[in-house]
Amino acid sequence: MLRKKSSAKEESKEGQENESPENKDNSEIRDPADLASDADSPEDAPGGESAGQTGQEAESTDKLSPDDYTFQEKLAEMQDKYIRLSAEFDNYRKRTLREKMELTKYASENILLKILPFMDDFERALKNSEDTKDCAAVRSGIELISTKLVDFLKQNGVTEVEAQNCAFNFDLHDAVAKVQVDDENMKGKIVDVVLKGYYLQDKVIRHSKVVVGE
């Protein structure tokens, strides 16, 4: 009886010793599906929770409210108006600059057109003086042209500066010479006018060049 029990213990011990290492390792290997499920769980995966939050924030950023769309439309409209206004102002600046240059270039056009008839009169007078021997007629024609020119200048605000026998005035006259005079009343006064001076309205545009007595 004792022999049979000892033999049974020996057989069970030998069975345990003869158990292959492969069976021991297989008992410790886990199912691949379980490993995959463990890896996918957000709690076990490193940074799983923060990654989920980042995705939610990006999704919320992409979604714009109707007020945001209205703001974008207004901003685009204002930008378009600014571009158009800038282009219109640039065109206006170029146009006004071109007009200013043309105005400066042709500013004397009107006055010259009014002077040209006097040139025509002088040309006719010179042509007629070649065939005539009547000096009085030539002189009369030249006086008519001179009178016509003086009237034209008065119409445009140009008048002569009075100088002859007037007291010398630095604001109106330029003394080119001085001469001795016997008359005490003519000392300090203008005895001769070398070149006439002229006003334009109330402004002196050319001083008279005169000779002053002393």
Q: What is the pLDDT of residues 103-156, one digit of tens each?
A: 888 888 888 898 899 899 888 888 888 877 888 888 888 899 999 999 999 998
Give me the CATH number covering residue 202.
2.30.22.10
178 assigned to some structural domain: yes
Which residues neighbour 178 within 8 Å (Cβ) at sequence distance 6 or greater? 211, 212, 213, 214
pLDDT of residue 103: 86
Residue 48 tokens read as 């799983």
- Is 151 inside any structural domain? no
3-state secondary structure of 192: strand
Reported confidence tier of residue 102, pLDDT bands at 50, 70, 90? confident
* 36 or 143: which leads in pLDDT: 143
Task: Please say if the pLDDT value at position 67 is more than 70.
Answer: no
- Asked, for residue 15, whether it belongs to a domain, the answer is no
Spatial neighbors of 46 by CB under 8 A, at least 6 apart, are none
Structural domains counted in the chain: 1
Range of the domain at 172: 159-214
In a domain, 31, yes or no: no
3 state DSSP class of 189: strand
With both helix axes pointing from N to C terminus, report the angle between 109-131 and 135-155 in degrees, rounded to the nearest 10: 170
